[in-house]
Amino acid sequence: MQLHQLLALPIYRNARIVAGGSGLNGSQVLSVNIMDAPDIIHYLKPHELLLTTAYAMKDHPESLLALVTNMAEVGCAGIAIKTKRFLEEVPESVVQRADELGFPIIELSLDYSIGELANHSLSHILEKRTDELHYALTTHKQLSQMIMKGQSIPEIIEALASLIGAPVLLLNTELEQVEGCPGPAGDPGPVDWLPAIQSALADLGPPDAFAELQLPPSASPNSETGVRLLPIYTFQLEGYLAAISEWAGRDQALTRHAMEQAANVIGLELVKRQAVQERSRRYKNEFFSDFVDGLITSEQELMHRSRYYDLLHHPVYVCAVAKRDPSRGNTQTSEPLVPADAQISDRDRNYQLLKNAFAELELPFVLFTKNDTFCCLLAIPALNSEAQAGDQPLIPQLKQMIQRLQEETSVPVSVGVGNPVSKLTDIPLSYKEAVKALAHGYETGKQRFVQPYREKDLTNLLRLLPREEMREYYEQTFKELLQLEDKERGELMKTLHMFYETHCQLAETAKRLYVHRNTVIYRLDKCQRLTGRELRDAVESLRFRTAFAMESLLT
């Protein structure tokens, strides 16, 4: 309770404030203590009111000055001195210091003993705390029964607004309104206060505990209007309860208790919702994970389960695999470990961000998680029969999507896209292609990319070989041809390469090189002598073609 409320009791009717009156209204009293030793300061706690006769200081007024200073530093509620017994009056130096610190000094009358004052004060404080606890329990029971009866969060907000007699808002972590309820008749609606709350928190930032904020003058015509804000937690911060009113003269403790009980009940309801969503999501993840892994072999089961996710009777399906980009220069093993609940929270946030982003494509889709990736099955309009992943109009849409994610949420995401398939049963093939496309994008050092799947040609396969083995193969193929002078070697290599490009046709080779047919024959004969290989042999022809494909990789 506040100190001015305690001094309003009949037992303090003849008490007088002699100093520190400016701190009277803001001074909270949790308990009362009696001074019986000079070193009492070592035993005082914040928000304690000290009752004393100042007997230990009657001959040392400077000690009282030190005590008042130390009590203000500790955060005590004030000091009440029974004068006219051992201390005739409070010294002027002490009064000046108390006024400077805003620390209340009360002069007690001789009507009651220190013991009577302490007992009566503590009884009143305990009685008030008992009433507060009873109020909190009653409020919690009332709100909990609402949830047990199936009533929703908006109805809890409405009940809270009725209990505290003030408009109440439920805000998300971005300080955007989720629910709201006006207070008693005549109060302005909560929507009108939302910009004012956001403005009041713009510089301070959202609180992590119960807080009372004053609205800026531009937002409220009444300077007494304030916001009481309370965070709502589950395993993470979910949002805030905000109550707006003129709080002067109202019991802050009861309002806080009501808001705390409402926050607890809303938190439990959110946990229940999250559990239901998590169970549904787990079933979905398990089904589609088995599906893309090829573990569901029954087409009847596949059709039956897919009906719930609107995946039937679409002309074309595409699988896209998305992943949050790792930090540059970090590997999975070098990243610091984070708590499991933080990992879950981060995964859920990313899931929701991607779900909202895919929804903006305005295409039927199902999003599920598999390992550390987010997989999306999209139903798209019919395409040309020869279209591949990179030819889809979906690719530019996905690029715009990851660009928006980066700009709006600072979450870097990359996407691998498989080739379109026309049958539901072929989706696992598109999934495997999307996984390979995503891995290929990361192998080339990209970030925030959309990588369509392309079938690997010979060059892609050769990239998998060690460089030294490719060089050895290349040198053994051309042998002494590589020892010639640059000009002659270049002519012979160019002629040999064109010979295979034209499928071993001498006339066509000569035509493309703008040389005589006999020149081509001469050069090819020389290549055959220097390499020791029969140029028209099928095996040797494959070897030469492979070596030429390696040339661009080696240089």
The third-level CATH classification (topology) of the domain covering 3-124 is 3.40.1390
What 8-state DSSP symbol labels residue 2?
B
Q: Where in the chain is the domain with CATH 1.10.10.2840?
A: 462-554
Q: What is the DSSP string of 480-537?
A: GGGGS-HHHHHHHHHHHHHHHHTTS-HHHHHHHHTS-HHHHHHHHHHHHHHHT--TT-
Q: Where in the chain is the domain with CATH 3.30.70.270?
A: 308-330+338-455
Backbone angles phi, psi at 424, to 5 degrees: -60, -35
End-to-end CA distance of the chain: 83
Residue 334: what pLDDT?
Answer: 35
The third-level CATH classification (topology) of the domain covering 462-554 is Arc Repressor Mutant, subunit A (1.10.10)
Instruction: Determine the Cα–Cα distance for residues 379 and 452; give it in Å rounded to an integer.
Output: 16
Write out the two tokens for 141. Answer: 């029971």
Q: Please name the residues in contact with 200: beta carbons below 8 A apart, sequence gap of 6 or more.
A: 213, 214, 215, 216, 219, 227
The residue among 172, 195, 180 whose CA lies nearest residue 270 is 172
What 8-state DSSP symbol labels residue 388?
-
**Cα dist. 353→157, 380, 408, 412, 468 in Å?**
27, 21, 10, 11, 45
For the chain, the residue count is 555
The residue among 48, 99, 90, 107 whose CA lies nearest residue 69 is 99
Q: Please name the residues in contact with 544: beta carbons below 8 A apart, sequence gap of 6 or more.
A: 477, 496, 500, 533, 535
Cβ-contact 85, 110 below 8 angstroms = yes
The residue among 191, 200, 249 whose CA lies nearest residue 228 is 200
Instruction: Determine the Cα–Cα distance for residues 38 and 47; give it in Å rounded to an integer.
Output: 20
Cβ-contact 190, 170 below 8 angstroms = no
Cβ-contact 238, 173 below 8 angstroms = yes
Q: Beta strands 16-19 and 373-380: pairing type?
A: unpaired
User: Which superfamily is assigned to 308-330+338-455 in CATH?
Assistant: Reverse transcriptase/Diguanylate cyclase domain (3.30.70.270)
Residue 333: what pLDDT?
Answer: 36
Write out the two tokens for 150. Answer: 């199936």
Residue 348: what pLDDT?
Answer: 78
Instruction: Determine the Cα–Cα distance for residues 484 and 393; give it in Å rounded to an integer.
Output: 51
Q: Where in the chain is the domain with CATH 3.40.1390.20?
A: 3-124
How confident is the prediction along the chain (555 residues), in pLDDT tens digits per residue?
Answer: 778 888 888 888 888 888 888 887 778 888 888 876 767 778 888 988 888 888 877 777 788 888 888 888 888 888 888 887 777 788 888 888 988 888 998 888 888 888 888 888 888 888 888 877 887 788 888 888 887 888 888 888 888 888 877 888 888 887 778 877 765 544 444 446 677 777 777 666 777 788 777 766 655 555 567 778 888 888 778 888 888 777 665 667 777 888 888 888 888 888 888 888 888 888 888 888 888 888 877 777 777 777 777 776 788 889 999 998 887 654 443 343 334 444 456 777 788 888 888 888 888 888 888 888 999 988 888 755 444 444 567 888 888 988 888 888 888 999 999 888 888 788 888 899 899 899 888 887 888 899 998 766 676 677 768 888 889 999 999 999 889 998 999 999 999 999 998 989 999 999 989 999 999 999 999 999 999 999 989 899 999 999 988 887 787
Residue type, 521: I
**Cα dist. 241→210, 214, 342, 345 in Å?**
10, 16, 23, 21
Q: What is the DSSP string of 9-25?
A: SGGGTT-EEEE-GGGST
Helix (H) or strand (E) holding 46: none
Q: Please name the residues in contact with 438: beta carbons below 8 A apart, sequence gap of 6 or more.
A: 321, 323, 373, 414, 415, 416, 451
Cβ-contact 125, 2 below 8 angstroms = no
Pick the CATH number of 152-272 from 3.30.479.30, 3.30.450.30, 2.60.40.2130, 1.10.3720.10: 3.30.450.30
Q: Where in the chain is the domain with CATH 3.30.450.30?
A: 152-272
